[in-house]
Structure 1
Amino acid sequence: MSGHTSTGRATSSTGWKIAVAAATLGVVYGYDIGNISGALLFITEEMELSPLLQGSVTTVLVAGNIVGALIAGKLATVIGRQKSLVLVVLGYAVFSVWSSLTTDVLWLDISRFFLGVSIGLSLVVTPIYLAESAPTAIRGALVVGYQVATVSGILLAYLVDWALADSGNWRLMLGLSAVPSVLILFLVVRLPDTPRWYLMRGRREEARATLRLVDPAADADRKLAEISADMAAERGGNLAEMFRKPYSIATMFVLAMGFLVQITGINAITYYSPIIFQEMGFEGYAAILGLPAVVQAAALVATVGSLIAVDRLGRRPLLLGGITTMMLASAMMIAVFATGSLGGSFWGFVAILLFTAGFNFGFGSMVWVFASESFPARLRSFGASLLLASNLVANLIVAQLFLPLMEGIGGAATFAIFLALAAFSWLFVLRFAPETKGRSLESISTYWENGARWPSRSTADSGRDEFRRETS
């Protein structure tokens, strides 16, 4: 039976395909950023890497992320969200295999750079695809679900590294992500693009058909009219428009948000947690690779909690609560290093666990939501690219400077910096982050048009009256 005569089954099938594809992409992404933490121990031994070259293996991936994030917005607009996802999956498969086959650090860095480009594309395109395909009532949950999959991938990476540690098989650690990438390719090529992108290209009937397929509860014609009106009201649709009113404040917000998410230190823990645990006095693979896996399991629980709460409690409570937990954890790490209690420090382990869980409950989950919600349809790809590029620049800084800071000024001072940055982030979120729970993508623009505040009813009514006068 056709999709129109069997709406329930077809819609259920399409929804599951989108969810499975996004989840798999999240798992592969998480695996690819987490597996280097264990693999680097054995790559360093085999290739006799200096500390500088060890850092390059980590940071070159992030450099590729930046390039991919910068080009993703334009790519997703020109060829579509779905075709961009196909390129992402192909990149994951090809470059993870390439990195596992290299015999020197130069080719390892080159292969990981292009793997990073694929990741950068995915970081922008996947949340946009989810946000533009999901009904308003569950949009936040589906976008946060991508973060759940990402944390699951990081956890899986630590478990695989732990399982392969005795053999030292770093090539298998790096190459295994090609397996789900190849499998998911057959699903991604069959997915539709988003209704918004079809409308941007003037393909109205395809947009209507996709809306009915993905969200049968919605009034397709009314939704199409809302999207069309939103797109028609916005002029430009280019990067320069991002820095003009009414979206200049939104652009400032996403650039700062993206930077603060990473500069507060989460990937110092993701990339270097085995080294941090060694500094605390832990020994053996069961500890230095097993304990990070426990930390990521707690992060997964926190992310699932965020998934459950995001469309009930809203975005702001989760953000503020998560950052508060990061501040507490940083204070605990300062105490651990300042007092010298490093002999397999239980409290240091608890602090790392709380820091990672707090991040994933707040910043880690919400950044995907704000990346997809802060701009109207024709600017959404550019906005997501800017947020993720800012995010990844901070990621690069942390990945490159964390170990020198630990060695140069000590653990207490390093985590004091993270504490100060988290406190600033809390104040920034309190002032600027909008609560978008239950609001349509088309209505959120009024927040930025009103100077990063929701307009009062009287202001909104006045604006509508002014619009009627101008158009009469």
Structure 2
Amino acid sequence: MAYNERPKSDSSGHSTNETRIEHMEYDDRNHSIPRTSRNFSSLAAERMRRNAAAKLANPLAGISHAKLEEMGASYARKHQIGDEEDIRAFQKGACLAQDPKRYHQVAGLTAKEMSVLKREFENRWSQPKLMYIVIILCSTCAAVQGMDETVVNGAQLFYRYQFGIDGEDSRSTWLTGLLNSAPYLCCSVLGCWLTTPFNNLFGRRGTIFLTCVFSALACFWQGFVNTWWHMFIARFFLGFGIGPKSATVPIYAAETSPPAIRGALVMQWQMWTAFGIMLGYVSDLAFYKVPDSSGIVGLNWRIMMASAMLPALVVICFVFLCPESPRWYMSKNRHYKAYESMRWLRYEKVQAARDVYYMYTLLEAEKEVQQLHGNPLVELIKVPRNRRAMLASEIVMFMQQFCGVNVIAYYSSQIFLDARFSPISALTASLGFGLINWIFAIPAIYTIDTFGRRNLLLTTFPLMSVFLFFTGFSFFISDETQHTARVACVALGIYLFGIVYSPGEGPVPFTYSAEAYPLYVRTYGMSLATATLWFFNFVLSITWPSLQTAFTTPGAFAWYATWNIIGFFLVLLFLPETKAKTLEELDQVFSVPTRLHAAYGLRQIPYFFRRYLLRQHCEPERLYENDEAGEDRDVGFDHDPEGGF
């Protein structure tokens, strides 16, 4: 059976695929030889998992409109939501929730409702004003994140000297790295794991408010320190603002946005984080020439560090103008408040009722799944389909750091100084990198769903490696005789690296991790993914100064250039494509045994050379339509008797 085909049904109504599973086992070495020693309990558990996943994919699939109207009205009356007009909205909303795009098949909608529903998909950015305030809020939160990360880039040119850690000895290099990495240490060991309790206690808006308060206080605090250890404490505290916010804002965006713009809105987190990174460089450049005043030593770097509090203050001032997440209200059994909140974010009651009722059915399905599966953390590792998704997610999150991008984001000013830029030119060149990082993140909104996640990474990893090698080797150009050439080559290498990073390894990791896991373990998978991201961010930040001293600047760049080559092969072997696939199709994709996918990846190398270099006509291999892979899938190959992937 091809991987992109649905199982056919027999006369009893059961899928023929399930019938094969129940009655036949295939030998791993010869798929045509049946065996009878099948572990039926494993097969039953696997079927239950897949049935649960299908239910989570759409709990309302296959139900008649008459039954849906009855269910919608019953829900509204049970939770005492509104009057008869609201009950009618839930009757029609339940039918719309089954498939929002088929609004024209729902009987009884008014002409105004039909017009709004049509416009929702034909002109998806036609949204109420309050929805745009939510979009601005999420974008500003992302900018807070980016600015928190990069104001230190320019400030460290000054405070290292003031704190006595500006030398090239091991103490100075390790302390410089420790100060840069302090927020990410906090994120990985504490901050990210506070996301769930903060959200449970304070809600989405409350968590955003609280984390922005942490960010603002920490940034202000950083402007008043006078020792390295005091700076470390202030920056460690900043991690309590960065960690929970990085997980909560995308969740809030997803839970408040309509289906037509949900993916685009969640994806913009990375783009506006890049904008915040650029703002950090702008701040460094703007306050560079501020002189010391009234006995205040280092007034310029103090203002740089404190300036990152400004976007956080903006969020603090208007976060409560936005409604709370309807899903959060529903998780607290406050269904009328959920509906009331959703009404603020939609034009028509029927739209609000549609989205609220679908949230309710998903929550009910999730409760059933939790009772079925037990401990999600165990399921994350125990179930091969989940384990493969975890492997792929961890690869892209790890490589987002070890591709070397944050070496440039956090240390670009020092790198440019080492290339013999003047201090003001170094800050200006850093701003250029931030601008490139933001501008070239915009095309990813389109390419990530057309060119594909895997193809973007396979294309950009080799290019990132080439440009890092180019940047590192540019430091060998003689500074005395060819100063201009050296400066130009270092800047060019870094800018070209930013151009290929921004649409590839920049947005792909969060998007990929958010969709790779089944819904019943997705929050746990994302928690692990974000913790991995911040931990290796900490590792990269703390080690770069010492790495640069030990390997020299060319060697340090070569180190990360080599990791990009490794990243290419990790993606080639272990990362399935997830573009434009339903949850059911993703289950099929991640059910391909790892050894089969790795072999398929290796076979793609000669295909590439024959097709694109030798210009030979050859058809690409389609793994998920391959009979061998299909048979493995059909028989529940996930349950490898050897316990492998």
- Place the TM-score, normalised by the shorter chain, in its bin: 0.7 to 0.9
Q: Deviations over 1:62-107 (max 9, x none)?
A: 2122134431443366334333222212211222112222233322
1:412 and 1:227 map into 2 onto residues whose CA distance is 53
Q: Deviations over 1:392-449 (max 9, x none)?
A: 2222222122222222222332222212211221222234434444445686455435
Q: Provide closer, same or farther for how the CA distance between residues 191 and 146 of structure 1 changes in structure 2, counting only shifts above 3 A.
A: same
Which of 56, 59, 84 in structure 1 is aligned with 2:178?
56
Match of 2:538 in 1: 396
3-state DSSP of counterpart to 1:103: coil
Match of 2:311 in 1: 180
Q: Provide closer, same or farther for how the CA distance between residues 401 and 370 of structure 1 changes in structure 2, counting only shifts above 3 A.
A: same
Which of 90, 109, 119 in structure 1 is aligned with 2:232?
109
> Cα offset for 1:358?
1.9
Which amino acid is the alignment partner of residue 117 of structure 1?
F
3-state DSSP of counterpart to 1:165: coil
1:121 and 1:331 map into 2 onto residues whose CA distance is 35
Q: Provide closer, same or farther for how the CA distance between residues 357 and 372 of structure 1 changes in structure 2, counting only shifts above 3 A.
A: same
Q: Provide closer, same or farther for how the CA distance between residues 385 and 61 of structure 1 changes in structure 2, counting only shifts above 3 A.
A: same
Q: Deviations over 1:271-308 (max 9, x none)?
A: 111111122121231x1100010111111111112124
Which ranges in structure 2 are unaligned for 5 or more consecutive residues? Answer: 1-84, 90-111, 121-125, 167-171, 291-298, 598-622, 637-645
3-state DSSP of counterpart to 2:483: coil
Q: Provide closer, same or farther for how the CA distance between residues 76 and 243 of structure 1 changes in structure 2, counting only shifts above 3 A.
A: farther
1:128/1:380 contact within 8 Å kept: no
1:136/1:438 contact within 8 Å kept: no
2:220 and 2:375 map into 1 onto residues whose CA distance is 38
1:231/1:376 contact within 8 Å kept: no
The answer as to 2:395 corresponding to 1:256 is: yes
> Cα offset for 1:190?
4.2
Which amino acid is the alignment partner of residue 90 of structure 1?
V
Q: Provide closer, same or farther for how the CA distance between residues 47 and 403 of structure 1 changes in structure 2, counting only shifts above 3 A.
A: closer
Match of 2:483 in 1: 343
Which ranges in structure 1 are unaligned for 5 or more consecutive residues? Answer: 465-472
Stretch moving more, 418-427 or 44-53 = 44-53
Stretch moving more, 289-298 or 322-331 = 322-331
Q: Deviations over 1:153-190 (max 9, x none)?
A: 11111111111111251121111222222221233234
> Cα offset for 1:211?
5.8
3-state DSSP of counterpart to 2:128: helix
Which of 245, 262, 266 in structure 1 is aligned with 2:405?
266
Stretch moving more, 85-94 or 61-70 = 61-70
TM-score by length of 1: 0.85
Match of 1:232 in 2: 368
Q: Deviations over 1:193-229 (max 9, x none)?
A: 5455555555555556656665739943456535643
2:588/2:633 contact within 8 Å kept: no
Larger radius of gyration: 2
2:222 and 2:583 map into 1 onto residues whose CA distance is 40
Which amino acid is the alignment partner of residue 188 of structure 1?
V
Match of 1:469 in 2: none
Structure with the largest fraction of helix: 1
2:162 and 2:555 map into 1 onto residues whose CA distance is 33
TM-score by length of 2: 0.64
Tell me how many residue pairs correspond in the alignment: 462
> Cα offset for 1:22?
1.0
Match of 2:147 in 1: 31
Stretch moving more, 312-321 or 443-452 = 443-452
Match of 2:551 in 1: 409
Match of 1:288 in 2: 426
> Cα offset for 1:269?
0.8
> Cα offset for 1:255?
2.3
1:218 and 1:448 map into 2 onto residues whose CA distance is 34
Which amino acid is the alignment partner of residue 336 of structure 1?
S
Stretch moving more, 121-130 or 71-80 = 71-80
1:282/1:343 contact within 8 Å kept: no
2:467 and 2:198 map into 1 onto residues whose CA distance is 38
> Cα offset for 1:240?
3.2
1:140/1:310 contact within 8 Å kept: no
2:153/2:410 contact within 8 Å kept: yes
3-state DSSP of counterpart to 2:440: helix
Q: Provide closer, same or farther for how the CA distance between residues 247 and 201 of structure 1 changes in structure 2, counting only shifts above 3 A.
A: farther
Match of 1:317 in 2: 455
2:579 and 2:153 map into 1 onto residues whose CA distance is 36
Which amino acid is the alignment partner of residue 422 of structure 1?
N
2:323/2:344 contact within 8 Å kept: no
Which amino acid is the alignment partner of residue 259 of structure 1?
F
1:323 and 1:31 map into 2 onto residues whose CA distance is 26
2:280/2:308 contact within 8 Å kept: no
Identity %: 24
1:84/1:125 contact within 8 Å kept: yes
Which of 255, 272, 278 in structure 2 is aligned with 1:149?
272
Q: Provide closer, same or farther for how the CA distance between residues 118 and 45 of structure 1 changes in structure 2, counting only shifts above 3 A.
A: same
> Cα offset for 1:270?
1.0
Which of 228, 241, 257 in structure 1 is aligned with 2:379?
241
1:58 and 1:274 map into 2 onto residues whose CA distance is 13
Match of 2:414 in 1: 275
